Amino acid sequence: MPERRPAPQAGPESAPVVRRTRRRWSAAVLTATVLGLGSCLLAAGAPVQAAAHGWLPEAAPVDQASLLAVAQVGPRTTWAAGAELSQSGKAVRQTPLLLARDDRAGDGWRRVQVPGVDSSGSRFNAVSAAAPDDVWLTGDATADGILTAHWDGTAWRTVSAPVPPNDGAGLLGVAAVSPADAWAVGWATATDGSGAFTGLIEHWEGASWRAVPLPAGSSVAALNAVTAVSARDVWAAGFDTDDQPVLLHYDGAAWKQLPRPPIGGPYGEVNALAAAGPDDVWAVGRVVTDENDRGHALALHWDGTAWHRLRTPASAGPLSSVAVTPHGALAVGQDPGRTRALALRWTGGTVLRRDLPAPAGADSAQPTGIEADAGSATVVGAANSPGADLPAPLLLTGRR
Q: What is the DSSP string of 297-326?
A: EEEEEE-SS-EEEPP--TT---EEEEEEET
State phi, psi for 140 to the nearest 5 degrees: -105, 170
| pLDDT value at residue 226 | 98
Query: How far is it, in rounded angstroms, from Cα 195 to Cα 223?
Result: 16
Residues pairing with 73 in the sheet: none
Q: Is the dihedral of CA 325, 72, 76, 111 positive or negative?
A: negative
The answer to whether 126 touches 135, Cβ cutoff 8 Å, is: no
Query: How far is it, in rounded angstroms, from Cα 323 to Cα 124?
Result: 19
Query: How far is it, in rounded angstroms, from Cα 193 to Cα 236?
Result: 27
The answer to whether 218 touches 212, Cβ cutoff 8 Å, is: no
- For the chain, 400 residues long, the average pLDDT of each consecutive 10-residue run is 30 27 38 36 31 77 97 95 92 94 91 84 94 97 89 96 91 98 96 89 97 94 98 98 96 96 93 97 96 94 96 96 93 94 92 92 93 91 92 89
How does DSSP classify residue 106? T
- Report the amino acid identity of residue 270: V
The distance from CA 174 to its chain's CA centroid, rounded to whole angstroms, is 10
State phi, psi for 268 to the nearest 5 degrees: 175, 175
| pLDDT value at residue 119 | 64
| pLDDT value at residue 361 | 86
Query: How far is it, in rounded angstroms, from Cα 34 to Cα 66?
Result: 7
Please choose, from the candidates 306, 356, 308, the residue with its C-alpha nearest in 3D space to the C-alpha of residue 330.
356
Exposed e or buried b per residue across 148-168, where buried means at least 16 C-beta atoms within 10 angstroms of its C-beta: bbbbeeeebeebbbebeebbb
Query: How far is it, in rounded angstroms, from Cα 152 to Cα 254?
Result: 28
Instruction: Give the CA dihedral 340, 268, 221, 372, nearest 10 degrees.
Output: 50
How does DSSP classify residue 8? P
| pLDDT value at residue 277 | 96
Beta strand pairing status for 392-399 and 55-57? antiparallel
The answer to whether 112 touches 135, Cβ cutoff 8 Å, is: no
Residues pairing with 149 in the sheet: 137, 158
Instruction: Give the CA dihedral 326, 317, 234, 100, nearest 10 degrees.
Output: -70
Instruction: Give the CA dihedral 231, 233, 237, 241, nearest 10 degrees.
Output: 100
pLDDT digits (tens, 9 = 90+) for 322-341: 999 988 999 999 999 998 99
The distance from CA 134 to its chain's CA centroid, rounded to whole angstroms, is 20
| pLDDT value at residue 120 | 66
| pLDDT value at residue 101 | 96
How does DSSP classify residue 32? H
Q: Give Rg (Cα) of the chain.
A: 19
- Domains within the chain, CATH numbers bracketed: 12-399 (2.120.10.80)
25 by DSSP, 3-state: which? Answer: coil
